[in-house]
Amino acid sequence: MKLGVLFSGGKDSVYAAYLAKKNKHELSCLISIHSENKGSYMFHTPNISKTKKQSEVMNIPLIIQKTSGEKEIELKDLEEAISKAKLKYKIQGVVTGAIQSVYQSTRIQKICDKLGLECFNPLWQIDEEEYLKMLIKDKFKTILVGVFAYPFDEFWLGKEINSKFLKEIKLFNEKYQIHVAGEGGEFETFVLDCPLFSNSLKIKNKKILKEGENSFRMEVEL
């Protein structure tokens, strides 16, 4: 089936795309929503502009849709982007990286129903610890580009999700109830390499932005 991928460049959307391809679907395009609202209810925002670099090493065309990020209104922009993908690339379905967010999954499903498209959520309700183990086993090079909860600080930015990280985040889960895969919005990620990429992306420069006591973002230049 020809699929469009709702694509943020973070671990969930990239891994969902990987699973879709593994299941013999054709990844016809990537769809990135560039939200002006960093607190968007729907969309990942750290380093969203860098999805262009990822699309290049994946050799998959990218549709970019801008939105003000206003709650509910941003869904019209998402629908417009998916409509473009259906018209231009003849997609028959949409892949999402939704894991637990009913808010996100139900709204995407509603848009797909309206447009006559299938909706695939290959990570839905996955065990978060097992999911990180799968990322590591399948050679995803994934780094943290945003942290938004105690006890995180700026020194976590750029850390790679590996076996050491898994041990640390499990301790945070036990002590502070931090979601192991960041499903509570505690951290955001960016994928630098994976089996879908023709070559690894390299960080040339980075800028750390402090937004609150335990809230930091890292913007990267590739």
Domain assignment present for residue 133? The answer is no
pLDDT number for residue 55: 98
Q: How far apart are CA 44 and CA 194, in angstroms?
A: 19
- Candidates 150, 99, 121; CA nearest to 3 is 121
Q: Which pLDDT band, with edges at 50, 70 and 90, does 74 fall under? A: confident
Show the CA angle centred on residue 180, arms to residues 45 and 205, nearest 5°: 40
Domain assignment present for residue 145? The answer is yes
Together in a domain, 65 and 148: no
Domain assignment present for residue 57? The answer is yes
Together in a domain, 11 and 111: yes
Q: Please provide the DSSP assignment of 148-200 as one string.
A: -STT--GGGTT-B-SHHHHHHHHHHHHHH---TT-TTSSEEEEEEE-TT-SS-
pLDDT number for residue 76: 93
pLDDT number for residue 41: 61
Which structural domain range is residue 149 located in?
Answer: 140-221
Q: Which pLDDT band, with edges at 50, 70 and 90, does 68 fall under? A: confident
CATH number, domain with residue 155: 3.90.1490.10
Half-sphere exposure of 117 (CA within 13 A, CB side): 29
Contacts of 222 (CB under 8 A, 6+ apart): 50, 53, 201, 202, 203, 204
Domain assignment present for residue 131? The answer is no
Together in a domain, 8 and 95: yes
Together in a domain, 104 and 158: no
Q: Which pLDDT band, with edges at 50, 70 and 90, does 36 fall under? A: confident
CATH number, domain with residue 115: 3.40.50.620
pLDDT number for residue 43: 78
Q: How far apart are CA 220 and CA 26, in angstroms?
A: 30
| Total structural domains within the chain | 2
List for the chain the helix, strand, coil content (%; round to 5): 35, 25, 40
Of the given ranges (69-78, 116-125, 204-213), which has the lowest mean pLDDT?
69-78
Please count the other Cβ atoms lying within 10 Å of the Cβ belonging to residue 199.
8
Residues 210-219 have a mean pLDDT of 92
| pLDDT tens-place string over residues 40-57 | 667 767 899 999 999 999
- Candidates 20, 1, 5, 117; CA nearest to 62 is 5
Together in a domain, 110 and 195: no
Amino acid at 35: S
Instruction: Look at residue 113 and tell me whether its pLDDT is greater than 90.
Output: yes
Report the share of the chain in percent with pLDDT over 90. Answer: 86
Domain assignment present for residue 128? The answer is no
